[in-house]
Amino acid sequence: MTRFKSIVALSAGLLIAGFAQASALEQFKSFVASTKAAKGEFVQRQVKNTNGEAPKVSTPASGTFMFARPGKFIWTYVKPYEQVLQADGDKLYIFDKDLNQVTVKKLGDALGSSPAAILFGSNDLEKNFTLSEGGAKDGLEWLKAVPKAKDTAFEQITIGLRNGLPEAMELKDSFGQTSVLSFKGIEKNPALTATSFKFVMPKGADVFNN
Residue 117's identity, in one-letter code, is A
Domain ranges of the chain: 16-209
The yes-or-no verdict on residue 16 having pLDDT over 50 is no
N- to C-terminal Cα separation, the chain: 61
Q: C-alpha 117: how far from its chain's center?
A: 8
Per-residue model confidence as pLDDT tens digits over 72-123: 999 999 999 999 999 998 999 999 999 999 999 988 755 655 667 777 776 6
Q: Residues for the chain: how many in total?
A: 210
Q: What is the pLDDT of residue 10?
A: 36
pTM equals 0.80
Can you tell me the mean pLDDT for 56-63? Answer: 88
- The mean per-residue pLDDT over the stretch 67-76 comes to 90
CA dist 47 and 137 (Å) reads 18
- Does 178 have pLDDT greater than 60? yes
Least confidently predicted of 24-33, 105-114, 177-186: 105-114
Residue 112's pLDDT is what? 57
**Could you tell me which CATH number the domain at 16-209 has?**
2.50.20.10
Please give the average per-residue pLDDT across 8-23, as a whole number: 47
Q: Residue 69 pLDDT more than 70?
A: yes
Q: Taking a C-beta distance cutoff of 8 angstroms, is the pair 134, 144 a contact?
A: yes
